[in-house]
Structure 1
Amino acid sequence: MPLRDAARAPCVCRAFVCSWRSFPNLIFSNQTLGVNEHAHDKDEIARDFISKVDHIMMNHLGPGMRTLKLLNPPRYNVKHRRYLDSCLEKAITQGIEELTLDLFLTAKKYKFPCSILLRGNRDSIRYLSLSNCAFHPTEGFNCLRRLVVLYLFSVHIKGDELGCLLANSLALESLTLGYCPEIVYVKIPSLPRLNYLVVNSCSKLRLIESKAPNLSTFYFTSCHRVHLSLGKALHVKKLYIDCSRPVSYSHAELASTMPNLEAVGTHSNAEMRSTSLVSSKLLYLEYLSINLKGLTLSQDLDRFSMVSSSLDAFVSDVLSINLSDVFSVFKISHY
């Protein structure tokens, strides 16, 4: 049933009271709490949100909470930020497994309190998603040793701080970084379980270096040139690169280190040379998608036909270029 109806049910059912107070998954937003988002007084919205969350948290029984999602909670002044700290501390102390904090994009930077992780049950969190805040782990940070999924969107974190976090996150399987404005480099240590990596539009990023031995999916987008070094990424099966700068520097290197690629996608507004993908044969390639606009292509790109004997699908979207004699094997959408 809807969350608001579930909250009202204990008024008429005593048995439901106990079940509701030990409900493991809590999602707090203006919508689920019935907060009037159109009120003119921001303090009134904040007081309403805080009052309802506080009532639920105070009546929640014991350490049964597993998931907490705070979606656009108020943080208009110091008092509200302190309350948010307190709410996070209670959840982390109880041994929460999944934490999502999604703040307003237009609000001032909220610093996620790393000290709470130090005081809380540091080995309980397996899923952490932060949006529109600041997160500054320091050297020796070992509070997320059981972390499996890390999602950071528009988070103010630097490369060395991310390194402090990853150094002891040996259980990490999935890492997503999106629009993080302060990251200049991403250096991933030898995390044995990491298999999924997404780095999307980090404006200052210049280097991605990974030593993760079992990476299987890599998705990367950027509007500027970034040096990619993934080591011997022998297990990578899915690769996608979207970059407005020349892409030959990356594909030529990456293809030679990824013999087991099954799906490749590339989107670029710049020059692509024939050696970009065919420097080595991709024997297991089943899907290839190329989206190239406003660029020049050399005529020996027909070597794509030699790339993979198992290729099932090839999709090309190329603007303002005649490819009728270039590809003789694949069907091409030509605009």
Structure 2
Amino acid sequence: MIPKTPMPALELDKLSEDILHHIHSLVPLRDAARAACVSRKFLRSWRCFPNLTLNWETLGLNMNEGTSYERAKKLTNGIHHILENHSGTGVKTLKLQVRPCGDVITANHLDSWLQPVIKSGIIELALDLPWNHSLEFKFSCSLISSAATSLQSFSLSYCSFHPNLTIGCLRNLTNVCLILVYITEEELGCFFSCTISLEKLEVNQCDDITFLKIPSYLQKLSVLRVFLCRNLKIIEINAPKVSTFLFRGPRIKISISNSYQLKSVTMNGQCYYGMYQYALTKLHSIASNLQTLNLVSAKEAFNLPVSPNKFLHLRNLGISSCGMANFDFFFLWFLFSKLALHLKVSSYR
């Protein structure tokens, strides 16, 4: 029998600093922190660790241990310790998920954490902040300005954001999500003027907006999501390439400059009424080239249109309801199948 040749040991200390840093950057956050405790080279790498996703899970905390205050305190202390020991350089991703910490976290905490790490070079920034009426955190325009040249994805929730033209051009920003953010329609319009490469936009529960205007210079915008903005009355879509539109809320006025561009539409009227009727009477005017349609409605005062428009390109139809146990879905499916000559796949429940 030929003796097996032992595999040569990989001596990490003989690898270059750059290679070690790259290996370290691919390790999950908790394992990267452990490695930094046993290796000086990994400790140096830890101080510029690029992927900071900071939440209960990544810090290895037990969500069922102690009171809610004690759990929030542990999470806040853990995040503070990590960011206090970070050099502030090399961060590519920062995801800060601290929604349960409203009784502990302060605006000063957030400022001290964000200021050192949001710099040129960061690619993804996602802040899920506490919902706390006593905490009125204003996300600073100067923070996003410092990352303007590199930022590609920006998600913000539970704070105020008042952008102005001092932000500069966010030329690489392609994905924006605003959830429960205090921002006016004028400020949002100012923000749009800085984000000419935007491809995906979500505006969710931003109640200060009454008129959402998507300007024509957003030439690359393809996906638009608008959810539960309580005071929103009008949506006007002038961007030329929006092909997917998802809406949740009551029926409002929606206009689009080119009705042929929309291919997929979701109209979610859960807790509201009339989405089926809206689809049969109004939707064709903004989506005449529709291929996929999903409808959710809670109540219908159903009247057939005299001469409903036909959806000649519709192939996928999803219909669901909230609280309409006796509604005749077979009839609605039959009606759409008559209006959509090429309908091949349909669903209902």
Per the TM superposition, whether the score is higher than 0.5 is yes
State the alpha-carbon separation in 2 of the partners of residues 300 and 204 from structure 1: 31
Corresponding position of 2:296: 267
Aligned counterparts, 1:291-330, within 5 A = 291=320, 293=324, 304-317=336-349
State the alpha-carbon separation in 2 of the partners of residues 211 and 137 from structure 1: 21
Q: Which amino acid aligns with 2:320?
A: N
State the alpha-carbon separation in 2 of the partners of residues 207 and 110 from structure 1: 28
Q: Does 1:210 align with 2:237?
A: yes
What is the deviation of 1:267? 1.7
State the alpha-carbon separation in 2 of the partners of residues 197 and 130 from structure 1: 16
Judge conservation of contact 2:295–2:320 (CA < 8 Å) in 1.
yes
What is the deviation of 1:45? 5.2
Instruction: Provide Cα deviations, 1:249-269, integer angstroms capped at 9, x if missing partner.
Output: 565333234333211111221
| Distance change in 2, residues 1:262/1:276 (3 Å) | farther
Greater mean alpha carbon deviation, residues 253-262 or residues 210-219: 253-262
Corresponding position of 1:322: none
Give me the CA root mean square deviation.
3.3
Q: Does 1:3 align with 2:35?
A: no
Corresponding position of 1:254: 283
Report SS of the residue matched to 1:100. strand
Aligned counterparts, 1:270-285, within 5 A = 270-275=300-305, 278-279=308-309, 281-285=310-314
What is the deviation of 1:153? 1.5
- State which of 180, 183, 192 in structure 1 corresponds to 2:219: 192
Corresponding position of 1:113: 140
| Distance change in 2, residues 1:59/1:114 (3 Å) | same
What is the deviation of 1:49? 4.8
Corresponding position of 1:239: 265
TM-score for the superposition, normalised by structure 2? 0.76
What is the deviation of 1:278? 4.2
Judge conservation of contact 2:120–2:149 (CA < 8 Å) in 1.
no
State the alpha-carbon separation in 2 of the partners of residues 4 and 303 from structure 1: 56
State the alpha-carbon separation in 2 of the partners of residues 215 and 49 from structure 1: 40
Instruction: Provide Cα deviations, 1:31-68, integer angstroms capped at 9, x if missing partner.
Output: 4335676556959954x555544443354456421100
Report SS of the residue matched to 2:177. strand
Aligned counterparts, 1:50-129, within 5 A = 52-60=78-86, 63-72=89-98, 74=101, 76=103, 80-106=106-132, 108-118=135-145, 120-129=146-155
| Distance change in 2, residues 1:233/1:123 (3 Å) | farther
Q: Which amino acid aligns with 2:131?
A: L
Q: Which amino acid aligns with 2:295?
A: T
State the alpha-carbon separation in 1 of the partners of residues 306 and 231 from structure 2: 25
State the alpha-carbon separation in 2 of the partners of residues 21 and 276 from structure 1: 68
Instruction: Provide Cα deviations, 1:268-298, integer angstroms capped at 9, x if missing partner.
Output: 212344449941x33322111233537799x
Corresponding position of 2:8: none
What is the deviation of 1:226? 1.3
| Distance change in 2, residues 1:45/1:240 (3 Å) | closer
Q: Which amino acid aligns with 2:300?
A: A
Corresponding position of 1:333: none
- State which of 20, 32, 55 in structure 2 corresponds to 1:29: 55
Report SS of the residue matched to 1:84. helix
Judge conservation of contact 1:142–1:169 (CA < 8 Å) in 2.
no
Judge conservation of contact 1:252–1:276 (CA < 8 Å) in 2.
no
Judge conservation of contact 1:65–1:94 (CA < 8 Å) in 2.
no
Corresponding position of 1:20: 46
What is the deviation of 1:94? 4.1
Report SS of the residue matched to 1:255. helix
| Distance change in 2, residues 1:182/1:194 (3 Å) | same
Greater mean alpha carbon deviation, residues 251-260 or residues 122-131: 251-260
| Distance change in 2, residues 1:167/1:311 (3 Å) | same
What is the deviation of 1:210? 1.0
Judge conservation of contact 2:84–2:113 (CA < 8 Å) in 1.
no
State the alpha-carbon separation in 1 of the partners of residues 82 and 171 from structure 2: 29
**Structure 1: tracts of 5 or more residues without a match:** 318-335
- State which of 163, 174, 179 in structure 2 corresponds to 1:153: 179
What is the deviation of 1:215? 0.7
Q: Which amino acid aligns with 1:99?
A: L
Identity percentage of aligned residues? 35
Judge conservation of contact 1:271–1:295 (CA < 8 Å) in 2.
no
State the alpha-carbon separation in 1 of the partners of residues 106 and 335 from structure 2: 61
